[in-house]
């Protein structure tokens, strides 16, 4: 039942012409439960749906039927993403700024020359801290996109406990995709699209590890080309904006430092729009397919791919070292 105090407040706000989203944010920030607020704003949604007949309850048929539904076009998604981007600009921009500036500061500190083993350990530790902070910022950005009432502090605070899970999802995705690229490029491209919702699922559904990647694959089943096309589209947006600017800077003979600053500013503005757009792609597919059941166990094949990807990655320095040594040997014998 709708809380009368909430209902009265909503009616007063609507008389003043305030939008539902603004009213919702104000009530939640005041401490009212989200469920009560949503019920008051949308009473129809709280009504119990009719119980379907047993013949209608066929999950496989429902999934096949839902998979026929079309995603909104790339232009429609961009338009909706841009509305969220404008509405949440300060929060999203601030998180992106921190994701850019903190690593720069830490990297600058890392330029202090420390010799020997201590220097090598300090460099590796700094690289790890920078990587973890960027990952944390990405999680905060996703959370801020998902929950529009959150400020910067809450976005970071609420995702702090998920950093280790996000790191594991990212490592698994990278290793499997890396091994896929070794297999003549195409499998890697397929894997990269399959697993592109991994972090979104971690934040939205709290599904972790390989299960998050497999769930992402299930969502994208039947939509691979649609997701791929929409990712190409948002990438082209950056190119259309960035290439003319870079071309003008090159013609004007701008310094390398100025070019670097401009590139950083472009990334700063593009980064939150990119994640907002991709989160909407995930959200729309989830709305079409509904909440998927939890994955009970991972597929051994992908675990094997991850192990092979790790072996291949570790082999690269050995292969490069052997190649360089053979070149040096040939050069010395030739002299």
Residues 233 and 121 both lie in one domain: yes
Residues 121 and 196 both lie in one domain: yes
In-domain check, residue 323: no
Total number of residues shown for the chain: 335
Sign of the Cα pseudo-torsion (267, 273, 276, 282, in order):
negative
Q: What are phi and psi of 88, to 5 degrees?
A: -115, 20
Residues 129 and 38 both lie in one domain: no
* HSE (side-chain half, CA atoms, 13 Å) at 314: 6
In-domain check, residue 327: no
pLDDT score recorded for residue 65: 46
Residues 101 and 233 both lie in one domain: yes
pLDDT score recorded for residue 247: 86
pLDDT score recorded for residue 105: 79
Residues 81 and 36 both lie in one domain: no
* HSE (side-chain half, CA atoms, 13 Å) at 200: 24
Which tokens hold the place of 49? 């749906």
Question: What is the distance between the alpha carbons of residues 323 and 328, in angstroms, rounded to a whole number?
Answer: 9
Residues 37 and 180 both lie in one domain: no
In-domain check, residue 70: no
In-domain check, residue 318: no
Residues 114 and 21 both lie in one domain: no
In-domain check, residue 68: no
Which tokens hold the place of 249? 């800077």
In-domain check, residue 128: yes
Sequence-distant (6+) residues with CB within 8 A of 307 are 175
Angle among Cα 198, 200, 201 to the nearest 5 degrees reads 65
For the chain, the straight-line distance linking the first and the last C-alpha, in angstroms and rounded, comes to 90
The count of structural domains within the chain is: 2
Residues 165 and 33 both lie in one domain: no
In a structure prediction context, what are the per-residue pLDDT tens digits for the chain, which is 335 residues long?
567 777 878 887 777 777 787 787 777 777 777 777 788 887 765 554 444 444 444 444 444 444 447 899 999 999 999 999 999 999 999 999 998 888 777 777 666 666 667 667 777 888 888 889 999 999 999 999 998 888 899 999 999 999 999 999 999 999 999 999 988 789 899 999 999 999 999 999 999 999 999 999 999 999 999 999 999 999 999 899 888 988 888 888 878 888 888 888 888 899 999 999 999 999 999 999 887 877 776 678 888 999 999 998 888 888 888 878 777 777 666 55
Residues 10 and 84 both lie in one domain: no
Which tokens hold the place of 293? 């059941």
pLDDT score recorded for residue 3: 76
Residues 87 and 224 both lie in one domain: yes
In-domain check, residue 333: no
Residue 20's domain comprises 1-43
Q: What are phi and psi of 164, to 5 degrees?
A: -65, -35
pTM of the model: 0.73
pLDDT score recorded for residue 60: 47
Question: What is the distance between the alpha carbons of residues 182 and 219, in angstroms, rounded to a whole number?
Answer: 25
In-domain check, residue 277: yes
Which residue is it, tokens 């981007």? Answer: 85
Alpha helices in the chain (DSSP H): 4-15, 20-29, 34-41, 59-66, 74-87, 89-110, 116-146, 152-159, 163-182, 186-194, 198-205, 209-220, 224-251, 256-289, 300-334
Residues 34 and 93 both lie in one domain: no
Residues 110 and 223 both lie in one domain: yes
């Amino acid at each position: 039942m709708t809380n009368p105090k909430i209902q009265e407040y909503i009616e007063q706000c609507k008389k003043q012409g305030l939008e539902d989203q603004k009213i919702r944010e104000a009530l939640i920030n005041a401490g009212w439960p989200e469920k009560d607020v949503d019920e008051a704003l949308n009473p129809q949604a709280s009504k119990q749906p009719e119980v379907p007949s047993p013949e209608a309850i066929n999950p496989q048929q429902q999934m096949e039927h839902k998979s026929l539904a079309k995603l909104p076009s790339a232009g429609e998604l961009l338009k909706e993403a841009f509305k969220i981007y404008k509405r949440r600009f300060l929060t999203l921009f601030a998180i992106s700024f921190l994701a850019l500036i903190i690593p720069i500061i830490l990297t600058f500190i890392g330029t202090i020359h420390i010799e020997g083993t201590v220097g090598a350990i300090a460099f590796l530790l700094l690289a790890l801290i920078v990587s973890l902070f960027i990952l944390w910022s990405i999680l905060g950005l996703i959370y801020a996109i998902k929950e529009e009432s959150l400020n910067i502090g809450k976005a970071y605070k609420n995702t702090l406990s998920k950093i280790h899970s996000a790191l594991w999802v990212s490592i698994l995705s990278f290793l499997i995709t890396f091994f896929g690229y070794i297999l003549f490029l195409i499998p890697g491209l397929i894997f990269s699209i399959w697993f592109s919702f991994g972090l979104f699922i971690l934040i939205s559904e709290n599904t972790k590890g390989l299960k998050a990647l497999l769930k992402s694959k299930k969502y994208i089943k039947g939509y691979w080309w649609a997701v791929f096309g929409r990712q190409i589209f948002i990438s082209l947006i950056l190119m259309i904006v960035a290439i003319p600017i870079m071309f003008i800077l090159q013609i004007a003979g701008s310094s390398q430092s100025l070019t670097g600053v401009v590139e950083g500013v472009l990334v700063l503005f593009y980064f939150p729009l990119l994640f907002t757009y991709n989160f909407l792609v995930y959200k729309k597919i989830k709305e079409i397919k509904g909440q998927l059941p939890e994955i009970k166990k991972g597929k051994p094949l992908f675990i094997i791919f991850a192990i092979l990807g790790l072996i291949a990655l570790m082999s690269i320095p050995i292969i490069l070292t052997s190649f360089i040594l053979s070149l040096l040997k040939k050069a010395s014998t030739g002299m």
